[in-house]
């Protein structure tokens, strides 16, 4: 089964309008902002989806607005763990809105 393609907006004002109008989804806006910055830096953009996980960008970057809930943090780190082991990534990055924490490879 093929996964649907993700849609990103080059102009985030449209996405901001949709987020405020319908769901106030800051995580989606953050993910889109990271996408734009990766394009500006000339990086190829790809994503990975599994049965119970998803990685936003296969560089290995995961974007999550709020990981203050331990269950959410665990879910995000588990997704990074699975992909980093499967594809032998040495570095992974979890981008959040208000949390700074370094997670070492041993924790993945």
* Residue 5 in domain: no
Q: Is residue 4 part of a domain?
A: no
Flag whether the pTM goes above 0.75: no
Q: Count how many domains the chain has.
A: 1
- pLDDT tens-digit readout, 52-99: 877 777 677 888 988 889 899 889 989 988 888 888 887 788 889 888
In a domain, 1, yes or no: no
* 99 lies in some domain: yes
Q: Are 13 and 20 in contact (CB under 8 A)?
A: no
Query: What residues make up the domain containing 34?
Result: 12-107
**3-state secondary structure at position 94:** strand
Task: Confirm whether 2 is domain-assigned.
Answer: no
CA distance 64 to 97: 7
Residue 86 lies in a domain: yes
Question: What is the C-alpha to C-alpha distance for residues 25 and 11, in angstroms, rounded to an integer?
Answer: 16
- pLDDT at residue number 86: 86
The answer as to whether 51 is a domain residue is yes
Paired residues of 73 in beta bridges: none
Phi-psi region of 29 (alpha: psi -120 to 50; beta: other; left: phi over 0): alpha
Question: In this structure, is residue 87 part of a structural domain?
Answer: yes
């Amino acid at each position: 089964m093929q996964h649907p393609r993700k849609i990103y907006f080059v102009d985030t004002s449209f996405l901001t309008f949709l987020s405020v109008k319908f769901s106030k989804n800051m995580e989606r806006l953050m993910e889109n902002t990271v996408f734009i910055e990766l394009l500006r830096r000339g990086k190829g953009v790809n994503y990975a989806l599994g049965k119970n996980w998803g990685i936003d960008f296969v560089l290995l970057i995961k974007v999550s607005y709020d990981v203050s809930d331990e269950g959410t943090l665990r879910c995000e780190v588990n997704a990074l763990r699975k992909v980093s082991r499967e594809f032998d990534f040495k570095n992974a990055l979890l981008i959040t809105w208000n949390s700074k924490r370094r997670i070492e490879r041993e924790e993945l």
